[in-house]
Amino acid sequence: MKVRFWGVRGSVATPGPAYLRYGGNTTAVEVRTETENRLLIDLGTGVTQLARELMDGEFGRGEGVLPILLTHTHLDHIQGLPFFTPFFVRGNQTRIIGPEPTELSLTETLQNHLNPHYSPLYGLENLAAGVRVETIEDGASVELSGFRVRAAAMPHGGMASLGFRIEADGEALAFIGDVEYPDTGPLSTALELAHGVDLLIHDAMFTDEAYALRRGWGHSPVSDAIAVAESAGAKHLALFHHNPDATDDDVDAIVAWAAKRSRVPVFAASEGPAFSLKALSSKA
């Protein structure tokens, strides 16, 4: 499998020269198989850059197929929805798959994001592409364009966020993007998702020092990401959902801190070229 980070920030996009090396877009992660099947995780602002690349190929001709996994519907994870240009090309087929919110359905929640008060699109029905919205339950598995995906609910403040285990090409990665574990430590469900994966992408929004002041905000300190990676036997750890206040130099310092404490090779997710899980293993 190959992975490309199109958006790595949490909460809000962060433009400016202090955020160029790691990137300032909100959550968007592309996963590809060796046969170039694609899977997208979340629709943060980073998908606007991905869309430009997709439109140069089959998606520009209305021949693209793209499953999209949503972890949850906080704004930083769906902010790119109205600006993802493959949605505007008739013939493209997309499946948006995510958790059912507690009060409104997933479809209704996404419709609200396209409400005329917020968007000139006026609703999902006005997207030219075939867009299907589906829900996936905690613990369920699904086959998607050459990928096998298992979902698990993670505590995220006052709601749940889905984590995913994704398998293809004889490899596995786990994505646990927005999570805050109870005081007893990482949940068994997180360890099951990440068990033996080639790459764990994990929420690390706070330094341990900052987390002491922000407990209850729904996000993890770096030490929890390390704990999950080590306990689950992950081969590599990518710190993700960078704090919007964290500059490139701050993220460098966080990685240096983590590298001294982690038995698992660790790096910070950054917007840039795709990399293969095999390449990660060859560097270890």
pLDDT digits (tens, 9 = 90+) for 29-41: 999 999 999 999 9
- We report the CATH number of the domain holding residue 258 as 3.60.15.10
pLDDT of residue 96: 98
User: Is residue 81 within 8 Å of 50, Cβ to Cβ?
Assistant: no
| Enclosing domain of residue 87 | 2-280
**Which pLDDT tens digit goes with each residue over 29-80?**
999 999 999 999 999 999 999 999 999 999 999 999 999 999 999 999 999 9
Q: Which two tokens stand for residue 13?
A: 């996009």
Would you place residue 281 in the very low, low, confident or very high pLDDT band (cuts 50, 70, 90)? confident
Can you give the C-alpha Rg of the chain in angstroms? 18
Q: Which residues of 178-192 are buried (b: 16+ CB within 10 A; e: fewer)?
A: bbbbeeeebbebbbe
CA dist list (Å): 205 to 168, 197, 214, 249:
28, 21, 10, 15
Q: Which two tokens stand for residue 24?
A: 């300032």
Distance between CA atoms of 261 and 181, rounded to whole angstroms?
A: 20
Distance between CA atoms of 272 and 256, rounded to whole angstroms?
A: 20
Q: Which residues of 105-138 are buried (b: 16+ CB within 10 A; e: fewer)?
A: ebeebbbebbeeeeeebeebeebebebebebbee
What is the percentage of the chain residues whose pLDDT exceeds 90? 89
Tracing tokens 């990665």 back to the chain, one arrives at: 173
3-class secondary structure, 167: strand
Q: Indicate if the pLDDT at residue 207 is higher than 70.
A: yes
Q: Indicate if the pLDDT at residue 109 is higher than 80.
A: yes
Q: How many CA atoms lie within 13 A of 89 on its CB side?
A: 22
Q: Indicate if the pLDDT at residue 149 is higher than 90.
A: yes
Helix, strand, coil distribution of the chain in percent, nearest 5: 30, 30, 45
Q: Indicate if the pLDDT at residue 284 is higher than 60.
A: no
Number of domains in the chain: 1
pLDDT of residue 181: 96
Q: Which two tokens stand for residue 144?
A: 């998607």
Q: Which two tokens stand for residue 22?
A: 């790691």
Predicted structure pTM score: 0.97
pLDDT of residue 101: 85
Would you place residue 247 in the very low, low, confident or very high pLDDT band (cuts 50, 70, 90)? very high
